[in-house]
């Protein structure tokens, strides 16, 4: 790993400097707790002032929780869900799980019962670490059926720190550590299994996207939930690794005023803003002074957003690119080079990123964006899905499913090969939404696509064939939207829903989604 936080040093780094034995719990917590236990790890900007958690306190919390997990039978290789939002105990939960040599599974607190069930049962979770609100949903609320039969539910706040230390398990850099589910084009979501080396793989891109992090006075925050790879490994864990304080501030829904309060009260200097947050700030004509760096990823920004960012923040927004399967592989760095509007930036040193053709060789023009095997942030594979893992690769290249082209050292994003919907920074698999709608008694068949939306990049758009006896009414449309909101997730419900008499299908019975997008572009079904 490259330690000097300058772009020149990153460029000159010869390969990944990753030790054979590595455990993320030691990297983000133990080493700081031993060297500087009073160093601030986390800051909570509460109504009555800022509350801090030191590295010493974080280790005490993680140790106590690790002992509790071990007591209920969690051991090396077991999967443990973390069903919590931004909070010190959430960070401690991941650290505790890694201390055991177990595998953490971050889960979004706004997931409905079906989304939770698919992930937890696929992973075969042994335990779930949550908060009182989450425990109420899992034990007596709408998500009882989502919990695997043998899984134990632990409320972190009920664990008392201060007991004996917990010796961190000795693990290899390639031992599995975290399982993050990503939406696919067909069927349910797939679990990308990552090793302890994944954090080392993120660090260069995080350092570059924040204009050579760390600098004196740096302090990180993102409104993105820590259940997503962007919140967990683009902000929280890199901050803890570097000893840069990270703000833990939960927002159930993004608010411009609350965002401004958090940044001002906590003294935030470095922010990862998803594009949807940037659009909300731009629409409100908000200005946020005092920031040193702003990074953004998930969707292309464009020249207009970059120009607005210079006016609103007094700096250049650094765009970055990656996927759950291999993240932080391309980035801009305003401190080092001028961005090129429409381009994502340059490949991050340590990652070999190329645009390839069908033959697996670099393409002269447009092709598929791919990253060569060997990147430290690349997944070990999809959980229990060897076929999907094999399909993700072409020779030595991991395929992103995105189209692009090289412009010298820069990479320009052109579009996606697959049908994953990008809505407000979330990647949504149409298959998961279709499966949820099909559980409603009104739905005989359904096809879901993304259609252009000026505020969200794309809107989830459903074409529904009704069962006999159901009326194509506003009431039915509202009921189907509510069904997805309640059963799957609020951000995945179809904002646009058409009723159709038939769906375009291939001979083999697959929905032709490009035809649905064409119909939507022409104003919808007749």
Using only the alpha carbons of the chain, give its radius of gyration. 23
Kindly report the average pLDDT of the chain as a whole number. 92
Residue 13, pLDDT score: 52
CB 291 within 8 A of CB 344: no
Mean pLDDT, residues 455-478 taken together: 94
Residue 9 clears pLDDT 60, i.e. is over it: no
User: CB count, 10 Å around CB of 133?
Assistant: 14
* Residue 388 belongs to some domain of the structure: yes
Mean pLDDT, residues 270-293 taken together: 92
Which of these ranges, 19-28, 100-109, 357-366, 384-393, has the smallest mean pLDDT? Answer: 357-366
Contacts of 199 (CB under 8 A, 6+ apart): 24, 27, 28, 233, 237, 238, 241
The CA distance from 2 to 201, in Å, is 10
* Residue 416 belongs to some domain of the structure: no
Q: What are φ and ψ of residue 430, in 5° steps?
A: -60, -30
Share of the chain above pLDDT 90, in %: 77
Residue 480, pLDDT score: 97
Residue 185 clears pLDDT 50, i.e. is over it: no
Mean pLDDT, residues 175-201 taken together: 88
* Residue 182 belongs to some domain of the structure: yes
Buried b (16+ CB within 10 A) or exposed e, 472-484: eeeebbeebbebb
Mean pLDDT, residues 34-40 taken together: 98
Residue 409, pLDDT score: 92
Residue 61, pLDDT score: 98
Residue 157 clears pLDDT 70, i.e. is over it: yes
Residues 393 and 425 both lie in one domain = no
Residues 338 and 468 both lie in one domain = no
* Residue 348 belongs to some domain of the structure: yes
Helix (H), strand (E), coil (C) string for 22-89: CCHHHHHHHHHHHHCCCCEEEEEEECCEEEEEEHHHHHHHHHHHHHHHHHCCCCCCCEEEEECCCCHH
Residue 5 clears pLDDT 50, i.e. is over it: no
CB 489 within 8 A of CB 108: yes
Residue 410, pLDDT score: 95
Residue 451 clears pLDDT 70, i.e. is over it: yes
Residues 399 and 432 both lie in one domain = no
Q: How confident is the model at residue 15 (pLDDT cuts 50, 70, 90)?
A: low
The CA distance from 390 to 380, in Å, is 11
Residues 123 and 29 both lie in one domain = yes
* Residue 414 belongs to some domain of the structure: no
Residues 385 and 437 both lie in one domain = no
Domain boundary, last residue among 351, 381, 407: 407
Q: How confident is the model at residue 211 (pLDDT cuts 50, 70, 90)?
A: very high
Residue 434, pLDDT score: 87
Reduced to 3 states (helix: H, G, I; strand: E, B; else coil), residue 488 is: coil
pLDDT tens digits for range 377-433:
999 999 999 999 999 999 999 999 888 899 999 999 877 777 778 888 887 878 789
Which of these ranges, 241-250, 256-265, 312-321, 359-368, has the smallest mean pLDDT? Answer: 359-368
pLDDT tens digits for range 55-113:
999 999 999 999 999 999 999 999 999 999 999 999 999 999 999 999 999 999 999 99
The CA distance from 479 to 297, in Å, is 33
The CA distance from 353 to 269, in Å, is 30
Which of these ranges, 88-92, 159-163, 182-186, has the smallest mean pLDDT? Answer: 182-186
* Residue 526 belongs to some domain of the structure: no
DSSP-assigned letter for residue 236: I
Residues 387 and 272 both lie in one domain = yes
Helix (H), strand (E), coil (C) string for 31-50: HHHHHCCCCEEEEEEECCEE
Listing DSSP states for 177-235 in one string gives EEEEEE--SSSS-EEEEEETTHHHHHHHHHHHHTTSS--TT--EE-SS-TTSHHHIIII
Q: What are φ and ψ of residue 411, in 5° steps?
A: -120, 125
- Give the CATH number, domain containing residue 95: 3.40.50.12780
CB 316 within 8 A of CB 328: no
Residue 341, pLDDT score: 78
DSSP-assigned letter for residue 467: P
Q: What is the pTM of this model?
A: 0.88
Mean pLDDT, residues 491-499 taken together: 95
Residue 234 clears pLDDT 80, i.e. is over it: yes
Residue 470, pLDDT score: 96
Domain boundary, last residue among 381, 407, 433: 407
Number of folded domains that form the chain:
2
Which of these ranges, 30-39, 69-78, 239-248, 358-367, has the smallest mean pLDDT? Answer: 358-367
Mean pLDDT, residues 209-224 taken together: 97
Residue 178: both structure tokens together = 């975290």
Which of these ranges, 76-90, 386-400, 473-487, 500-514, has the smallest mean pLDDT? Answer: 500-514
Residues 401 and 468 both lie in one domain = no
Nearest to 322 by CA among 408, 394, 229, 454: 229
Residue 177, pLDDT score: 98
Residues 226 and 250 both lie in one domain = yes
Residues 428 and 402 both lie in one domain = no
Q: How confident is the model at residue 165 (pLDDT cuts 50, 70, 90)?
A: very high
Residue 184, pLDDT score: 54
Contacts of 447 (CB under 8 A, 6+ apart): 430, 434, 462, 463, 503, 504, 511, 513, 516
Residues 433 and 296 both lie in one domain = no
Domain boundary, last residue among 362, 382, 407: 407
Structural domain including 517 reads 421-521
Higher pLDDT, 224 or 7: 224
The CA distance from 367 to 480, in Å, is 38
Residue 3 clears pLDDT 90, i.e. is over it: no
> E strands within 266-352?
270-272, 293-297, 318-323, 326-331, 343-347
Higher pLDDT, 211 or 414: 211
Residues 388 and 448 both lie in one domain = no
Residue 513 clears pLDDT 70, i.e. is over it: yes
Mean pLDDT, residues 439-461 taken together: 92
* Residue 269 belongs to some domain of the structure: yes
Residue 183, pLDDT score: 66
Listing DSSP states for 173-187 in one string gives TTSEEEEEEE--SSS
* Residue 155 belongs to some domain of the structure: yes
End-to-end Cα distance, the chain: 58
- Give the CATH number, domain containing residue 427: 3.30.300.30
Residue 16 clears pLDDT 70, i.e. is over it: no
Residue 361 clears pLDDT 50, i.e. is over it: yes
Sheet with 190-195, strands from edge to edge, namely: 152-155, 127-130, 79-83, 103-106, 176-182, 190-195, 381-382
Residues 260 and 361 both lie in one domain = yes
Residue 171 clears pLDDT 70, i.e. is over it: yes
Residue 366: both structure tokens together = 């447009």
């Amino acid at each position: 790993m490259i330690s000097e936080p300058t772009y020149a040093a990153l460029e000159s780094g010869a390969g990944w400097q990753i030790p054979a034995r590595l455990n993320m719990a030691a990297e983000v917590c133990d080493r700081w707790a031993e060297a500087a236990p009073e160093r601030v790890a986390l800051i909570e900007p509460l109504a009555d002032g800022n509350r801090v958690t030191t590295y010493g306190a974080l280790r005490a919390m993680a140790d106590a929780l690790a002992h509790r997990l071990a007591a209920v039978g969690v051991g090396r290789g077991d999967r443990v869900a973390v069903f919590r939002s931004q909070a010190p105990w959430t960070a401690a939960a991941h650290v505790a799980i890694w201390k055991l040599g177990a595998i953490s599974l971050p889960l979004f607190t706004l997931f409905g019962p079906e989304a939770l069930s698919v992930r937890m049962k696929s992973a075969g979770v042994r335990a779930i670490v949550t908060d009182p609100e989450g425990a109420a949903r899992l034990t007596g609320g709408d998500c009882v059926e989502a919990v695997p039969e043998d899984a134990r539910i632990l409320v972190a706040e009920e664990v008392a720190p201060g007991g004996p230390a917990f010796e961190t398990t000795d693990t290899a850099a390639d031992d599995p550590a975290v399982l993050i589910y990503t939406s696919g084009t067909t069927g349910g979501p797939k679990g990308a299994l990552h090793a302890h080396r994944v954090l080392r793989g993120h660090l260069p891109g995080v350092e570059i996207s924040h204009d050579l992090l760390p600098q004196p006075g740096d302090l990180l925050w993102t409104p993105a939930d820590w259940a997503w790879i962007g919140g967990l490994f683009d902000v929280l864990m890199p901050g803890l690794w570097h000893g840069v304080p990270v703000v833990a501030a939960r927002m159930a829904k993004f608010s411009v005023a609350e965002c401004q309060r958090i940044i001002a009260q906590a003294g935030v200097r470095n922010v990862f803003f998803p594009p949807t947050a940037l659009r909300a700030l731009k629409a409100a004509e908000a200005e946020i002074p005092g920031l040193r760096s702003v990074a953004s990823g998930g969707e292309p920004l464009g020249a207009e957003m970059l120009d607005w960012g210079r006016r609103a923040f007094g700096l250049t927004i650094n765009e970055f690119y990656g996927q759950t399967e291999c993240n932080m592989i391309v980035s801009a760095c305003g401190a080092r080079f001028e961005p090129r509007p429409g381009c994502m930036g340059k490949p991050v040193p340590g990652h070999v990123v190329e645009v390839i053709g069908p033959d697996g060789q670099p393409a002269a023009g447009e092709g598929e964006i791919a990253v060569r095997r060997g990147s430290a942030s690349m997944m070990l594979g999809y959980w229990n899905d060897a076929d999907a893992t094999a399909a993700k690769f072409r020779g030595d290249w991991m395929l992103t499913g995105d189209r692009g082209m090289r412009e010298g050292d820069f990479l320009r994003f052109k579009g996606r090969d697959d049908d994953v919907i990008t809505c407000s920074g979330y990647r949504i698999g149409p298959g998961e939404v279709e499966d949820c709608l099909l559980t409603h008694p009104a739905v005989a068949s359904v096809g879901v696509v993304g259609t252009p939306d000026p505020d969200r990049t794309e809107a989830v758009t459903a074409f529904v064939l009704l069962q006999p006896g159901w009326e194509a009414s506003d009431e039915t449309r509202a009921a189907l939207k509510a069904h997805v909101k309640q059963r799957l997730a609020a951000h995945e419900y179809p904002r646009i829903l058409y009723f159709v008499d038939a769906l375009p299908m291939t001979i083999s019975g697959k929905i032709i989604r490009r035809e649905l997008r064409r119909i939507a572009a022409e104003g919808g079904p007749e």
